[in-house]
Amino acid sequence: VLVVLSGGTGGAKLIEGLSREVPAADLFIVGNTGDDFLFHGLHVSPDLDTIAYTLAGIADPEKGWGIAGDTFVVLERLARYGAEDWFRIGDRDFATHIRRTELLGRGLTLSQVTAELARALGVEAAIVPMSDQRVETRLCTPAGELGFQEYFVKRRWQDEVESIVFAGAERSAPAPGVLAAIARAEAIVIGPSNPLTSIGPILAVPGIRTALREAASPVIAVSPIAGGAALSGPAHRLLESAGLEPSPLGVARAYADFVDTLLIDRQDASLEGPIAALGVEPHATDIRMPDLAAKRRLARLVLEVAGL
Amino acid sequence: VLVVLSGGTGGAKLIEGLSREVPAADLFIVGNTGDDFLFHGLHVSPDLDTIAYTLAGIADPEKGWGIAGDTFVVLERLARYGAEDWFRIGDRDFATHIRRTELLGRGLTLSQVTAELARALGVEAAIVPMSDQRVETRLCTPAGELGFQEYFVKRRWQDEVESIVFAGAERSAPAPGVLAAIARAEAIVIGPSNPLTSIGPILAVPGIRTALREAASPVIAVSPIAGGAALSGPAHRLLESAGLEPSPLGVARAYADFVDTLLIDRQDASLEGPIAALGVEPHATDIRMPDLAAKRRLARLVLEVAGL
């Protein structure tokens, strides 16, 4: 089994590549749920859905979220009713959130619901939330404390972030199977996701970080930053505000206690020395994934580094 | 003010006619919520919505429910997720239920939510649920106790109905303004709705039936049955199973304690004697409303009988 820790967009690209290189049933994906939120009373799990839609082959390749070709009739009507529409949910996507909310309301856990939705979409890989308990990524800014989607989507990550809180993390537990999968994995992959707001919430669930440190298998991370800027989103800014370098070196520092190898971009090759000094083996390559060929190439390299 | 007690389809047709004959702001419509139910975790109020959509000019004239030209993307996806799809909710319609559920979840009453949705749709008439408390129409059949939509839509009213229960009615109260509107009305109209499952739940809310009996203004009902069969739905069958004649005479008997005048179809003119014997004044006319002209004509007749 290959365990992948992942946020949304960037992680999903690597997962798409991996799913073409190993049998789907061998993938055990631990998804970030710190971004989950209630929108119009519905439970939205943006990262879990991006991963599921990607593996189901229905993700929107342009936008990086949602379902390809989706329509927005429901959202337009909701806006007419005075509801907020800054988070764009398409009609097909709404069905996912309606179904998830209904099943959670019946008492199913988020793991069970996520498995059920993935099965219905024909996804064979295991997609598992980091926890069945609610852990909420909150960003403390001069404008006040913001939920992740409010910071990221509504306010377009323009606020200065003073600190990040994972509300509820201390009372949470890893979802069933997560610790066992990490312990038994042939390799563990940390996707090219935001270290602080995508991988950070997963690591904040008690037990997961320790399990990664103690795992016998190789742990390989892919940098979400190349040449001083995130491949997408605000990773560089958040690293800086956390007192870390806005570069693969900051990523290495954030992961130094459990990552063996960090894939970085060739343009950051000058950081190989400082990264190695942290006890993390750097591996320079082309980490951008503009198309399926690049996704598969990077996935093969990850597997090769893992010795698989 | 003209108070109208109404279920869905038939009542909405008369309301449409009335809204063309009196200022919309003079209409105070008390809607049946005994059919309300949770579908996919969303609070659906079929009769309130049919009335609101009709007055907003967006109702589907063919189907008698939903919004004209609506699409069914969400429902199709929900079915793929294994959710039930026997109750047909279009995408625009889904937005109504999502918004209602969200606002109820925030602690607003059903009256407040209904007023808010109507306002957003540009409806000037007051649309008020019979009660802010949950009153659920349950039908006892040989197949067990069924919710109204299960009986009516899912099982196409084929079950024999042994009795009807309005669960929760004894603990309910009329929604704010209902009793005052009845007391002060210039006239009260009972729409051509099912006496047992559309008007019955309204009458089951403590205080409403007494207020109707005591109202000084004329109370005019329109028969939902012509020539032995309901204009739509199972009214004739339900009257029979309740031990009442499946005809305007049964309707008159169900309403005899508070209705002054009953508009019946010309083909039922032979029942004028028996109806009058119940203390209800029969008025034979053409009660079918196939088009707007017929709706307006019947509305004008109702106003005329009311002396308005």
Strand partners, B282: B262
Question: For the purposes of burial, counting CB atoms within 10 Å of the CB of A155, is it exposed (0-12), middle (13-18) or buried (19 or more)?
Answer: middle
Residue B64 predicted with pLDDT over 90: no
Q: Contact at 8 Å (CB) between B149 and B89?
A: no
Residue B61 predicted with pLDDT over 90: no
Q: What is the C-alpha separation between B136 and B76, in angstroms, rounded?
A: 28
Q: What is the C-alpha separation between B241 and B164, in angstroms, rounded?
A: 10
pLDDT tens, position by position, A237-254: 899 889 999 999 999 999
* B117: closest chain A residue by CA: A81
The overall average pLDDT reported for chain B is 96
Chain A residues with CB under 8 Å of B80 CB are 95, 120
pLDDT of residue B231: 84
User: Hey, what are B19's tokens?
Assistant: 């809204």
Contact across the interface for B80 and A120, Cβ inside 8 Å:
yes
Q: Contact at 8 Å (CB) between A11 and A191?
A: yes
pLDDT tens, position by position, A3-18: 999 998 899 999 999 9
Residue B230 predicted with pLDDT over 90: no
- Strands of A136-141's sheet in order across: A144-147, A136-141, A163-167
* B114: closest chain A residue by CA: A81
Q: What is the C-alpha separation between B115 and B112, in angstroms, rounded?
A: 5
Chain B residues with CB under 8 Å of A80 CB are 95, 120
Q: Tell me the pLDDT band of B228, cut-offs 50, 70 and 90.
A: confident
Q: Mean of the pLDDT values across residues A174-178? A: 98
User: ∠ CA A5-A192-A177 to the nearest 5 degrees?
Assistant: 5
- Please report where in the chains the tokens 């690293």 appear, as a residue: A239
Q: Contact at 8 Å (CB) between B261 and B305?
A: yes
Maximum CA extent, chain B: 57
CA distances from A188 to A203, A213, B194 (A): 14, 11, 64
Q: Tell me which of A230 and B143 has the higher pLDDT.
A: B143
Question: For the purposes of burial, counting CB atoms within 10 Å of the CB of B171, is it exposed (0-12), middle (13-18) or buried (19 or more)?
Answer: exposed
Q: Mean of the pLDDT values across residues A153-164? A: 91
> How many residues make up chain A in this entry?
308
Q: Tell me the pLDDT band of B229, cut-offs 50, 70 and 90.
A: confident
Rounded to 10 degrees, the C-alpha dihedral A174/A175/A179/A185 comes to -140
pLDDT of residue A62: 83
Phi-psi region of A243 (alpha: psi -120 to 50; beta: other; left: phi over 0): left
- Please report where in the chains the tokens 């069933």 appear, as a residue: A176
Strand partners, A30: A5, A128
Q: CB within 8 A of A230, min separation 6: which ones?
A: A194, A224, A236
Number of alpha carbons in the 13 Å side-chain half-sphere of residue A290: 1
* A97: closest chain B residue by CA: B78
pLDDT of residue A63: 84
The overall average pLDDT reported for chain A is 96
| Torsion B162-B172-B203-B111 (CA) sign | negative
pLDDT tens, position by position, A40-84: 999 999 999 999 999 999 999 888 889 999 999 999 999 999 999
Number of alpha carbons in the 13 Å side-chain half-sphere of residue B186: 13
pLDDT of residue B196: 95
Q: Contact at 8 Å (CB) between B261 and B281?
A: yes
pLDDT tens, position by position, B71-105: 999 999 999 999 998 999 999 999 999 999 999 99
Q: Tell me the pLDDT band of A114, cut-offs 50, 70 and 90.
A: very high
Q: Contact at 8 Å (CB) between A47 and A60?
A: no
Share of chain A above pLDDT 90, in %: 90
Measured in angstroms, the CA of B99 and the nearest CA of chain A are apart by 7
Q: Contact at 8 Å (CB) between A32 and A217?
A: no
Measured in angstroms, the CA of B101 and the nearest CA of chain A are apart by 7
The answer, for B173 touching chain A at a CB cutoff of 8 Å, is no
> How many residues make up chain B in this entry?
308
pLDDT of residue B291: 94
Q: Contact at 8 Å (CB) between A35 and A135?
A: no
SS (H, E, C) A61-72: CCCCCCECCCCC
Chain B residues with CB under 8 Å of A98 CB are 40-42, 74, 78, 83, 94, 98
Q: What is the C-alpha separation between B265 and B227, in angstroms, rounded?
A: 8
Residue B234 predicted with pLDDT over 90: no
Q: What is the C-alpha separation between B110 and B116, in angstroms, rounded?
A: 10
* A41: closest chain B residue by CA: B102
Q: Tell me the pLDDT band of A234, cut-offs 50, 70 and 90.
A: confident
The answer, for B255 touching chain A at a CB cutoff of 8 Å, is no
The answer, for B40 touching chain A at a CB cutoff of 8 Å, is yes
Measured in angstroms, the CA of A109 and the nearest CA of chain B are apart by 16
Chain A residues with CB under 8 Å of B107 CB are none
pLDDT tens, position by position, B243-285: 999 999 999 999 999 999 999 999 999 999 999 999 999 999 9
The answer, for A225 touching chain B at a CB cutoff of 8 Å, is no
